[in-house]
A and B are shown apart, each in its own frame.
Chain A
Amino acid sequence: MSDIRIVPLGAGQDVGRSCILVSMGGKNIMFDCGMHMGYNDERRFPDFTYITDTGQTLHDYINCVILSHFHLDHCGALPYFTEMCGYNGPIYMTHPTKAICPVLLEDFRRVCVDKKGEQNFFTSQMIKDCMRKVITVNLHQCVKVDDQLEIKAYYAGHVLGAAMFHVRVGHQSVVYTGDYNMTPDRHLGSAWIDRCRPDLLITESTYATTIRDSKRCRERDFLKKLHECLERDGKVLIPVFALGRAQELCILLESYWERMNLKYPIYFSTGLTEKANHYYKLFISWTNQKIKNTFIHRNMFDFKHIKAFDRSYIDQPGPMIVFATPGMLHAGLSLQIFKKWAEDEKNMLIMPGYCVPGTIGHKVLSGTKKIEIDKKLVNIRLSVQYMSFSAHADAKGIMQLIQLAEPKNVLLVHGEAAKMEFLRQKINEEFGIHCYMPANGETVAIATTPSISVNMSSLLFKRALEESIGAPPSKRLCSLPNSAVVDGLLVMKNEVIEVSLLTHKEVSDEIGLTRHKLKFSQTLTLDGHFLPDSNILELLTTSINKLVPDSKVLQTKEGYGLELSGTSVTLSIAQFLPQPLVNLTWELQDDHIGSILVMNLVRTIPRALIMT
Chain B
Amino acid sequence: MELVSFLLYILLGFFPKYCLGSRPWQPCYVIRVEGVTIMLDCTLDLFELLNFFPLPLVYSERLSSTPFCELNNFTSNEQSENNIFREIIGRILIDSLPLVRIPETKLVDFSMVDVLLISNCFSFLSLPYLFEFGFSGKVYATEPTKQLGRQLMEELCEFLYRLPTPSKNWRDESILQSLPECAVKTLTDVNSWKSFYKSDDITSAISIVQGISYGQKLDLFGSVQATALSSGYCLGSCNWLMETKYSKIGYVSSSSTFTTHPCPMERQSLLSCDALILSSLTNAPSANPDTMLGELCTKMATTLRGGGNVLIPCYPTGVVYDLLECLHTFLDNAGLVGVPVYMISPVAKNSLSLANIYAEWLCEAKQSKVYQPEHPFPHAEFIKSGRLKHFPNIYGDLGNVYQTPCVVFAGHPSLRCGDAVHFMEVWGSSSKNSVIFTEPGFDYLHALTPYQPLNMKAFYFPIDPCMNFFVANKLLKELQPQVLITPTDYLPSAAQTQKDTTCLQPEMPFYGVKRGSVVKVELASKYKKIEMTSELASTIFPQEINPGVMATSLSGLLTIRSGNNKLHPLPHPKPKNLWGHTNAQSLIEALKEHGITDIVLDKKNNQDIVQILGGKASVCFNDGETIIQNCHDEKLRLLLKDMLLRQLIQL
Binding site for B on A (CB under 8 A): 95, 98-99, 102, 131, 136, 138-143, 171, 194-196, 275, 278-279, 281-285, 295-296, 449-459, 461-462, 464, 474-478, 480-495, 500-501, 504, 507, 511-523, 588-589, 591, 595, 598-599
Contact = CB atoms under 8 A, between A and B. Distances in A.
Contacts of B577: 504, 515
A457 B526 contact: yes
Given A99-B371, A483-B557, A454 B548 contact: no
Interface string B202-220: 0000000000111111001
Contacts of B625: 516-519
A281 B542 CA distance: 62
Contacts of A140: 212-213, 216
Contacts of B624: 514-517
Contacts of A513: 545, 551, 579-580, 649
B114 A520 contact: no
A277 B570 CA distance: 56
Interface stretch (B19-27, B41-49, B286-294, B528-536): B528-536
B526 A458 contact: yes
Contacts of A591: 641
B581 to A, nearest CB: 7
A461 B648 contact: no
Interface string B511-531: 000000000000001111111
B529 A482 contact: no
Contacts of A511: 545-546, 549, 551
A516 B626 contact: yes
B645 interface: yes
A62 B136 CA distance: 47
Contacts of B542: 490, 492
B349 interface: yes
Interface string B336-363: 0000000000000110011011111000
Contact of A95 (B227, B370, B533, B550): B370
Interface in B623-651: 624-632, 634, 637, 641, 644-645, 648-649, 651
B630 to A, nearest CB: 6
Nearest to A274: B373
Given A451-B533, A517-B624, A589 B3 contact: no
B558 A484 contact: yes
Contact of A518 (B535, B557, B644): B644
A514 B626 CA distance: 13
A406 to B, nearest CB: 11
Contact of B215 (A141, A474, A476): A141
B107 interface: no
A443 to B, nearest CB: 24
B527 A492 contact: no
Given A283-B370, A451-B531, A511-B545, A476 B214 contact: no
B73 interface: no
B35 A477 contact: yes
A138 B215 CA distance: 9
Nearest to B531: A451
A454 B215 contact: no
B554 A501 contact: yes
Given A458-B4, A518-B626, A598-B634, A476 B112 contact: yes
Among A478, A485, A500, A512, which residue has the most Cβ atoms of chain B within 10 A? A478
Given A483-B560, A486-B556, A487-B574, A141 B526 contact: no
B562 A196 contact: yes
Contacts of B111: 476
Given A282-B373, A518-B625, A522-B630, A588 B578 contact: yes
Contacts, number: 264
24 contacts: A140-B212, A281-B357, A282-B357, A285-B360, A449-B534, A450-B534, A451-B531, A451-B537, A453-B529, A462-B35, A477-B223, A483-B559, A484-B558, A486-B556, A489-B554, A492-B551, A507-B551, A516-B580, A516-B626, A517-B625, A521-B627, A588-B645, A598-B632, A598-B634
Interface size class, chain B: 35 or more
B367 interface: yes
Contact of B213 (A138, A449, A459, A475): A138
B627 A520 contact: yes
Contacts of B540: 490
Given A494-B548, A519-B625, A521-B629, 18 more contacts: A282-B373, A285-B143, A295-B357, A455-B527, A455-B528, A456-B527, A457-B526, A462-B3, A478-B136, A513-B649, A515-B577, A515-B624, A516-B579, A516-B626, A517-B625, A518-B628, A520-B641, A522-B631
A171 B566 CA distance: 11
A518 B575 CA distance: 14
B553 A490 contact: yes
Contacts of A493: 548-550
B570 A485 contact: yes
B429 interface: no
A522 B632 contact: yes
Contacts of A142: 215-217, 227
B36 A477 contact: yes
B551 A458 contact: no
B371 to A, nearest CB: 5
B373 A278 contact: yes
Contacts of B212: 140
Contacts of B137: 478
Nearest to B556: A486
4 shortest A-B CB distances, which residue pairs? A141-B215, A494-B548, A455-B527, A449-B534
Contacts of B546: 511-512
B626 A519 contact: yes
A438 B274 CA distance: 49
Interface in B601-629: 624-629
A139 B540 CA distance: 41
A595 B373 contact: no
Contacts of A598: 632, 634, 637
Contacts of B552: 489-490
Contacts of B648: 516, 518
A282 B370 contact: yes
Contacts of B96: none
Given A449-B533, A462-B3, A514 B580 contact: yes
B133 interface: no
Contact of B561 (A195, A459, A507): A195
A486 B373 contact: no
A484 B565 CA distance: 11
Nearest to B347: A296
B255 interface: no
Contacts of A484: 557-558, 560
A474 to B, nearest CB: 8
Given A491-B551, A519-B627, A520-B628, A480 B578 contact: no
Contacts of B376: 282
A491 B549 contact: yes
B180 interface: no
A490 B542 CA distance: 8
A489 B552 CA distance: 6
B375 interface: yes
B3 A482 contact: no
